[in-house]
Each structure stands twice: as C-alpha cells, then as structure tokens.
Amino acid sequence: MTRRKYVVGNWKMNGLSAAIGEAQAIFAAADDHAVVDVAICPPFTLIGAMVAAAPGKAVGGQDCHSATSGAFTGSVAAAMLADSGASVVIVGHSERREGFAESDADVRAKAEAGLAAGLSVILCVGEPREVRESGGAIDYVLAQIAGSVPEGFDPHRLAIAYEPIWAIGTGLVPTVADVAAMHGAIRGALTARFGGAAEDMRILYGGSVNGENAVELLGAGDVDGALVGGASLTAAKFVPIVEAAATL
C-alpha cells in the first residue's frame, strides 16, 4: 500500500491578514511537489481570506464544536468551517486536551461532527513525558485511539497525528525507532479494529519537525507525513519539510 505523504501546518494562535502571503508562497512551492498533499490550518479569522487567496488548496480549522449549532459562545461548528471554505479540521490536539480538559469522548464527538460536515479530520494523540519515561507510552496512546476514533467513516478522510506532548515546541524529538514503534502500534490497533481499511489511513508525526530532521522522521516506518507547528508559519521553514516528504 502506497499512501500519499501529507504535510499539514498548524498555525495555532498566530497570524494576521499580512500572513496570507506566506500561505500563498507555501502553496505555490508545494505545487512543485505534487506527490505530497499539503494543508494549512490557520486561525479561524484567516480561513476565508486564505481560501480566497489560494483557491483549490487545502485550508482547515484547528478545532470544531461537536454540536451543529447552539448557545456555545466562542465556538465554531464544523459546518461553519465548511461554509467558510475549509476542507479539513484538526481535533484532539494536546493543547485542547490539556488546556481545555477535552476527553476522548469529546474528541470523538468532534471528529464525528467534522466528518458529518464533509470535512477531512486529523485526530491527534500523544503522551506526556512522565508516561514516556515510565514505559507506558504505547498503552496510553492506544487507549486514546480506542476512545477517540469514531466508527463508520471513510478511511481516506481521517488521519491520525501522533504528537508526543513533550516534543511539541520544545526542540526535543523522540528517536526514529521510537517514532516507528509508536506508528506501528497505532497501525496495528487500527487494523485490528477496521481491518484492511486501516491501510488507507494516514498516520502523521508531529513534534519539533523541521527541515533538518524531516527526512529521517518521515522515513520511519508507518509515518505518512507531518503535522507541523511553529515551522509552518513561514515558507522558508515549512517548504523544506514538504520537499523532504517529496523525496520519500
């Protein structure tokens, strides 16, 4: 099974309208590497402008509410993202799980909402440092998979992003062997649950990915791409990761 590489930029709470030019530069450079799927998930405020500035490119949201509408001040429904032109949404990022106390059930409900709205979903999982050091990382992440991944979806529309919490924005990176072991365990769990359909699901790695380590990390077993944070804010830092993916 050959899965297309997938490189996604998560801009988090960064970016004003002046940053649209960076997104245009990223997408323009990505056109030279058509074997790689590239998406950018900016703040909600930039989605419409980015879609307009880069027509036909994959732009997404960083979160969505599980409800279709209602009295949820400050929240955004998946259908609202789709209406703004988004084609993908991230759910379950550790900054949501930890900072907003989102449970596996919450993440699953958000994934279901995103899929129901016609979006592709990137569902994040990952362990804190103390769990990694205690030797329980794989069990911890597989429990998140069991509790967060919904049923009855098109496997081409849901990707898993493994992001060890202790590696996000810290400069710390797990060994390639550790990444391969975790991705292999995730693939095994998905296969046990969904059978052959799991072969179509992409598993991304996230956590201090940059142009220097991208080839090594993306070349590890069962790594189908990257979910990139800080290094996705500029073309100068993000495009080398796309270029690395294109060589694999």
Catalytic residues: 93, 163
Q: Quick one: tokens of 162?
A: 């493994």
Q: Quick one: tokens of 100?
A: 């907003």
DSSP single-letter state for residue 74 = T
CA gap 151, 194 in Å, rounded = 9
Helix, strand or coil, per DSSP, at residue 64: coil
**Which residues touch 188 (CB under 8 Å, ≥6 apart)?**
none
CA gap 131, 142 in Å, rounded = 13
Q: Quick one: tokens of 123?
A: 């569902």
**Which residues touch 92 (CB under 8 Å, ≥6 apart)?**
102, 107, 110, 111, 123, 124, 125, 144, 148
**Burial classification of residue 44, based on how many CB atoms lie within 10 Å of its CB (0-12 exposed, 13-18 middle, 19 or more buried):** middle
User: Percent helix, strand, coil in the chain (nearest 5)?
Assistant: 50, 15, 35
DSSP single-letter state for residue 229 = S
Q: Quick one: tokens of 222?
A: 């069962």
Helix, strand or coil, per DSSP, at residue 13: coil
